[in-house]
Amino acid sequence: MTTSPNAPAIVIQGLTKTYASGLQALKPVDLTIAKGEIFALLGPNGAGKTTLISIVCGIVNPTTGSVLADGYDIQTQFREARTRIGLVPQELTTDAFETVLATVTFSRGLFSRAPNPAFIEKILRDLSLWDKKDNKIMTLSGGMKRRVMIAKALSHEPEILFLDEPTAGVDVELRRDMWALVRTLRDRGVTIILTTHYIEEAEEMADRVGVILKGELILVEDKTTLMKKLGRKTLTLNLIETLEAVPAELAEWNPTLIADGHELQYEFDANAEDTGVPSLIRRMEALGIGFKDLNTRQSSLEDIFVSLVHQSSSQEKAA
């Protein structure tokens, strides 16, 4: 397939969507996704993730704005743009009475790609579906059906793959398989954009993370930078003797007792000049509260996400 070597995978400019009901599902969104990136779009239910993906994939028309996929305009150059995109939708939409092989082969044909049985076999093998190739879709488990959806999306060799909630409701094993698969695809140069509710998924896989709330892309950041910049740390002290309550003398650090009083936890801003850690330890020594061990842990993306959602709703209340 001819590609534009210098074009980013996706360029979204001034994209908005107001549904016929009057609901504004997307406020102006600008976003550029580089080739070969794994981009995770995080947001609570109804934030606008599916709307955004559906516009980029040409399923929903935008109200204003433009989208380029590999340099091709999704509205004025639909075929060129759409051929470059594979979409694994949230809902399982596939013909229950067809076999796996027929369904996936048919999907490739929809994009006017020449038949390539060897390629289809490879996809099915990669997804552990080859031994199910003659099974009717309706006889497969939910997890297997989801794999079929991925195989369909990959059948026309897209360079950009959208995964809308790829692991919603799947078991841990399948989730890990999916992650491995996504990494393999990335290693082959496929750009991957996934939406997810699972912060763990973004943390595990994404190069960059975007957070969307009420139709607004409030943050786009390199994952590691985001975690460093916004991350707080938690200090855990493993006490020699259990405490029944946090001593009043430690109140200014506002620590919490966990593990039946065996551990004391203190949360601090890792970037602050004065983290409060040395003074807390000195105070504990002065009080004769000994500890056997200690560790600090970077806050997870989940902690960051929760605090962003919280900030946004308190700003709204204040406005």
Ligand X SMILES: Nc1ncnc2c1ncn2[C@@H]1O[C@H](COP(=O)(O)OP(=O)(O)OP(=O)(O)O)[C@@H](O)[C@H]1O
**CB nearer to ligand X: pick between 206 and 284:** 206
**CB nearer to ligand X: pick between 70 and 201:** 201
Closest distance between ligand X and the C-beta of residue 186, in Å?
23
Closest CA to 7 of 194, 155, 160: 160
According to the binding rule CB under 6 A, does residue 112 interact with ligand X? no
Identified binder of ligand X from the candidate list 12, 47, 123, 170, rule CB under 6 A: 47
Rounded to 5 degrees, what angle do the CA atoms 224, 201, 193 make? 80
Nearest-angstrom CA–CA distance, 41 and 43: 7
Nearest-angstrom CA–CA distance, 36 and 40: 13
Residue 299 near residue 234 (C-beta atoms within 8 A): yes
| Crossing angle (nearest 10°) for helices 142-154 and 172-187 | 10
Identified binder of ligand X from the candidate list 14, 19, 241, 296, rule CB under 6 A: 19
φ and ψ of 171, to 5 deg: -75, 170
| Crossing angle (nearest 10°) for helices 142-154 and 117-126 | 140
According to the binding rule CB under 6 A, does residue 115 interact with ligand X? no
Q: HEC string of 242-290?
A: CCCCCCHHHHHHCCEEEHHHCEEEEEEECCCCCCCHHHHHHHHHHHCCC
| Contact map string, positions 125 to 144, toward ligand X, x by CB under 6 A | --------------------
Closest distance between ligand X and the C-beta of residue 227, in Å?
23
Stretch that binds ligand X, among 43-51, 74-82, 116-124, 184-192 (CB under 6 A): 43-51
| Contact map string, positions 49 to 88, toward ligand X, x by CB under 6 A | xxx-------------------------------------
Pairing of strands 160-164, 191-196: parallel
Residue 88 near residue 54 (C-beta atoms within 8 A): no
**CB nearer to ligand X: pick between 51 and 155:** 51
Stretch that binds ligand X, among 44-52, 134-142, 229-237, 257-265 (CB under 6 A): 44-52
Count of residues near ligand X by CB under 6 A: 12
Identified binder of ligand X from the candidate list 48, 62, 158, 210, rule CB under 6 A: 48
For ligand X, the binding residues in 23-42 under the rule CB under 6 A are 23, 25
According to the binding rule CB under 6 A, does residue 45 interact with ligand X? yes
Closest distance between ligand X and the C-beta of residue 213, in Å?
9
Q: Interface residues with ligand X (CB under 6 A)?
A: 19, 21, 23, 25, 43, 45-51
